[in-house]
Chain A
Amino acid sequence: MLPPAKSTLAAETDALFNFINVTSIILLIGITIAIVFFAWKYRRRSENDVTPVITHNSKLEITWSVIPLILVLIVFGWGLSGYVNLTTIPDDAYEIRVVGKSWLWEFHYETGHVSVNELHVPVDRPVKLVMSSEDVIHSFYIPDFRIKRDVLPNRYSSVWFEATETGESVIFCTEYCGMAHSDMLATTIVHEQEEFDTWLASAGSADDNLSPLELGEQLVTRNACTTCHSMDGSILQGPSFQGLWGSERQFEEGDNVTADENYIRESILEPQARIVESYDPVMPTYAGTLDDRQIDAIIEYIKTLE
């Protein structure tokens, strides 16, 4: 029933899950057999049936109180020990900063590099995520690692894991956060340590060889612009990028402007400044996430979507 276990702590959680499942199924089968058997065996044969007077049975009642009590105490202790492991972060953990925004995940690395919706981590090494939210409550969940922690707007919360194999795992937001809550997905990419170091070293410069147009095309996907802005004219949480360039933008306040470089730049850095009619003010700022060259590239790309 469970997804593949890809972290050091997953096995313990899974063992408890299976223990409770198996115990419950055995008890459920017993109870079900009793219900069906009694209903058949003691079915009413005549209206004059006489039934025995059995008001209580101390031995029986103590048995069926104490055995479940012992079982739940086992489950409690087992769950607690797992929880303590999940919340005790090793001192040598590699730290990555996580910011949740409606509706994307940002990952800030020690080099200053920021990746959106892609969490790169090394394998076989404890990783600590220090998380906060820019707006409402989100929750960071990686099913393969059996970890989850709410991401709050007014404080930091932390979660840790140690991946045991390389590959990709999905990240969900599990605290309802509005219209595109279910699109707030990200991917964990687990690398070998060397591969991770190489990736981190080159992460900032990998884009250098691209033309602005190519870069822009990559950036709108990589930065989760496409979660809310379509490329084909369909209406999502925000206006489509198609036909945006040079069009008249009608704002909530009643004024309007032609979409040019300055308007797009402002919309990326200060998205709440002017809201296009019939949309909600929900976009987070990209100030600090995108630099000037990247903003230029996105503008170049939008120009081509007619």
Chain B
Amino acid sequence: MATEESKANVKRVQVKRFKPEEYPEKHYLNQETGLWAWLTTVDHKKIGLMYLMSVAFFFFIGGMLALLIRTELLTPARTFMDADVYNQVFTLHGAIMIFFFLIPSVPAALGNFILPLQLGAKDVAFPRLNLASFYIYVIGALFTITAIFTGGVDTGWTFYTPYSATTGGSVMMMTMGVFILGFSSILTGLNFIVTIHKLRSPGITWNRLPLNLWGLYATSIIQILATPVLAITLLLLTMERALGIGIFDPALGGDPVLYQHFFWFYSHPAVYIMIVPGFGIISEVISTFSRKVIFGYWAIALSSLAIAFIGFLVWGHHMFTAGQSSLASMVFSFLTFLVGIPTGIKIFNWLATMYRGSIDMKTPMLYAMVFLFLFTIGGFTGIMLGALSVDVHLHDTYYVVAHFHYVMMGGMVMAFLAGLHYWWPKMFGRMYSEFWAKLSCGLVFIGFNMTFLPQFIMGAQGMPRRYFNYIDQFQSFHQFSTLGAYVMGVAFFIMAGYLFHSLRKGKRAAANPWGSRALEWQTSSPAPLHNFEHTPVIINGPYDYHKPMSEFQLGIATPHNDHHADENVSHTESEKEQV
């Protein structure tokens, strides 16, 4: 008990419990409707959904391209497409999946939706800038689509010089698309950093920040620091192609290895733009479905920042055979192994969180476990590739292809799907079929391993990547891999099916169907237009499952702004006084 004197110095605020309204009549989806209202909305949730639709579209395109690649590789020589078409297809598969799906998928789509909700904020700090980011993304996408239909690109997603400086096709249009897209990524990152710093609800101190937000915070830092380097590099490439200024092309006096340094200076940190927000989602999902306080909160939060930082210093491990000095290779190899440590720590922390938990194997948790398994394989094979002498053998073989698919798809996409299934009820106020969702998850898992495990073996035996023709000894591996890709294709169509079904006919979702303590679940599903009808007040950590639910639903009643002056709020169940 405080003394009388100290009590007098404290500002007293009335805090009471706001139980979220179940099955609300009015929510963000049925207010401000109509096409124009959507296209001009500054609501982060609607912008998040527009991103979600866009990344789903590009995932579909990229996925179909992957199926074309795998089908062509059924036989060693030509199966049904020509070599130059094949080269364009694998280039587009890579470029679309990375720049238009993986990079925006968690930060821009899920992050946009969930970040202000987890902060108890009404929106991001700069809502109009947020909308602008979306349209910049759309413009970048239009450039890319134009490039595809006006000659295609056959450089590989890495655009290595001097090949990219000399080949035909729409390389400039494509790089302009990626250049423009970069600004969308930078602005989103900036917006998130400011929002996390300035718009936290009362009580959300840095040690009560949900780990998802630590993930997004680390990602945002990489986005604003690394993306400009890509922009500059692509601009230089365009200048070389359009104006003949020699920067990378030796025929003009340039240096092609310089391009590789510039490119990977962005593109390696970009790998962490893709995976670090995934770590955030996995932390939320494992804690929620284990109904247990997260193990090693600070270890997980700080390891995300450590990965973001060290991730800037390892780009040279893409160039062990490219002719950089042995000293440089040694340093880059060493730093690469250092990134492995915080990544390993996270895996153990998540396992420790499950220990003695109360584990509910719902679909998001299933995806989180699939993530743990596949991402661990991705991590170990990364150690393999970080070892200098072994990398000389494995570099640019299918081993590398399998490795980054285990990290990007097995890690990042599984985390994205965990997040999508986890927050789906909050987004749409509907549940999906658990049966079909689990079936689809199982098929994705089986199909994924069928596709990419054989590629480790092929790669170790020397099968180079980006090969249209291959020598006969690899055919059975390729065919098995293709079969796996078809299984995955079926799984994703099932997923599309039950998710669309859920939108129309799904059971209405409760405000907090998973019994989570996290703040975004303490408002109704779907969320109200301005997220909360009160200012949330936080007194516990986001994973304090040992505290009663009532302590997570506190808030200060705020006089309503103009947006819904006619509403009245009276969800008061109990009152609590708090200093």
Instruction: Enumerate chain A interface residues (CB-CB to B < 8 A).
Output: 1-3, 9, 12-13, 16-17, 20-21, 24, 27-28, 31-32, 34-35, 38-39, 42-45, 47, 49-57, 60-61, 64-65, 68-69, 72-73, 75-76, 78-87, 135-137, 139, 141, 143-144, 146-150, 152-155, 157, 170, 172-183, 185, 237, 280
Closest B residue to A172 by CB, please name it.
Answer: B464
Q: Is the CB of B290 within 8 A of A148?
A: no
Per-position 1/0 for B429-444, Cβ under 8 A of A:
0000000000000000
Q: Nearest Cβ distance between residue B370 and chain A, in whole angstroms?
A: 10
Q: Is the CB of A35 within 8 A of B297?
A: no
Chain A residues closer than 8 Å to B360, beta-carbon distance? 43-44
Give complex CA distance A280, B464 in Å: 25
Chain B residues closer than 8 Å to A152, beta-carbon distance? 250, 256-257, 323
Cβ of B139 within 8 Å of any chain A Cβ, yes or no, is no
Since A2-B460, A143-B461 are in contact, a sample of 11 more A-B pairs with Cβ atoms closer than 8 Å, ordered by chain A residue number, is A17-B393, A21-B384, A39-B361, A42-B358, A49-B358, A54-B356, A76-B333, A83-B320, A144-B462, A152-B250, A170-B471
Q: Is the CB of B461 within 8 A of A280?
A: no
Q: Is the CB of A176 within 8 A of B357?
A: no
- Identify which of residues 139-189 in chain B touch chain A, using a CB-to-CB cut-off of 8 Å: 154-156, 160, 162-163, 166-168
Chain A residues closer than 8 Å to B344, beta-carbon distance? 64-65, 68
Chain B residues closer than 8 Å to A39, beta-carbon distance? 354, 359, 361, 369
Chain A residues closer than 8 Å to B377, beta-carbon distance? 28
Q: Is the CB of B380 within 8 A of A28?
A: yes
Q: Nearest Cβ distance between residue A42 and chain B, in whole angstroms?
A: 5
Closest A residue to B546 by CB, please name it.
Answer: A53
Cβ of B21 within 8 Å of any chain A Cβ, yes or no, is no
Give complex CA distance A237, B329 in Å: 37
Contacts A2-B461, A83-B329, A152-B256; A135 near B290 (Cβ below 8 A): no
Chain A residues closer than 8 Å to B376, beta-carbon distance? 27-28, 31
Q: Is the CB of B460 within 8 A of A17?
A: yes
Q: Is the CB of A20 within 8 A of B390?
A: yes
- Identify which of residues 420-462 in chain B touch chain A, using a CB-to-CB cut-off of 8 Å: 456-457, 460-462
Contacts A35-B372, A148-B396, A149-B323; A61 near B83 (Cβ below 8 A): no
- What would be 15 A-B contacts, judged by CB atoms less than 8 Å apart? A17-B384, A31-B372, A51-B290, A55-B295, A64-B345, A69-B341, A72-B383, A76-B337, A86-B389, A87-B326, A148-B395, A174-B397, A176-B156, A180-B83, A182-B470
- Identify which of residues 70-95 in chain B touch chain A, using a CB-to-CB cut-off of 8 Å: 83-84, 87
Give complex CA distance A12, B468 in Å: 32
Per-position 1/0 for B463-486, Cβ under 8 A of A:
011111111000000000000000
Closest B residue to A67 by CB, please name it.
Answer: B344
- Identify which of residues 386-427 in chain B touch chain A, using a CB-to-CB cut-off of 8 Å: 386-393, 395-397
Q: Nearest Cβ distance between residue B298 and chain A, in whole angstroms?
A: 8
Q: Is the CB of B292 within 8 A of A61?
A: no
Chain B residues closer than 8 Å to A73, beta-carbon distance? 337
Give complex CA distance A56, B360 in Å: 22
Q: Is the CB of B354 within 8 A of A178?
A: no
Q: Is the CB of B162 within 8 A of A136?
A: yes
Q: Is the CB of B462 within 8 A of A172?
A: yes
Q: Nearest Cβ distance between residue A227 and chain B, in whole angstroms?
A: 10
- Identify which of residues 555-572 in chain B touch chain A, using a CB-to-CB cut-off of 8 Å: none
Give complex CA distance A76, B167 in Å: 38
Q: Is the CB of B392 within 8 A of A153?
A: no
Give complex CA distance A69, B344 in Å: 10
Q: Is the CB of A76 within 8 A of B387?
A: yes
Q: Nearest Cβ distance between residue A31 and chain B, in whole angstroms?
A: 6
Give complex CA distance A178, B83 in Å: 9
Give complex CA distance A144, B460 in Å: 11
Cβ of B496 within 8 Å of any chain A Cβ, yes or no, is no
Q: Is the CB of B389 within 8 A of A182?
A: no
Q: Nearest Cβ distance between residue A126 and chain B, in whole angstroms?
A: 17
Q: Nearest Cβ distance between residue B278 and chain A, in whole angstroms?
A: 17
Chain A residues closer than 8 Å to B87, beta-carbon distance? 176, 178-179, 181
Q: Is the CB of A83 within 8 A of B389?
A: yes
Give complex CA distance A291, B93 in Å: 44
Closest B residue to A39 by CB, please name it.
Answer: B359
Chain A residues closer than 8 Å to B334, beta-carbon distance? 76
Q: Is the CB of B354 within 8 A of A72?
A: no
Give complex CA distance A139, B62 in Å: 28
Give complex CA distance A65, B356 in Å: 22
Q: Is the CB of B163 within 8 A of A68?
A: no
Q: Nearest Cβ distance between residue B416 and chain A, in whole angstroms?
A: 20
Q: Nearest Cβ distance between residue A176 and chain B, in whole angstroms?
A: 4
Chain B residues closer than 8 Å to A180, beta-carbon distance? 83
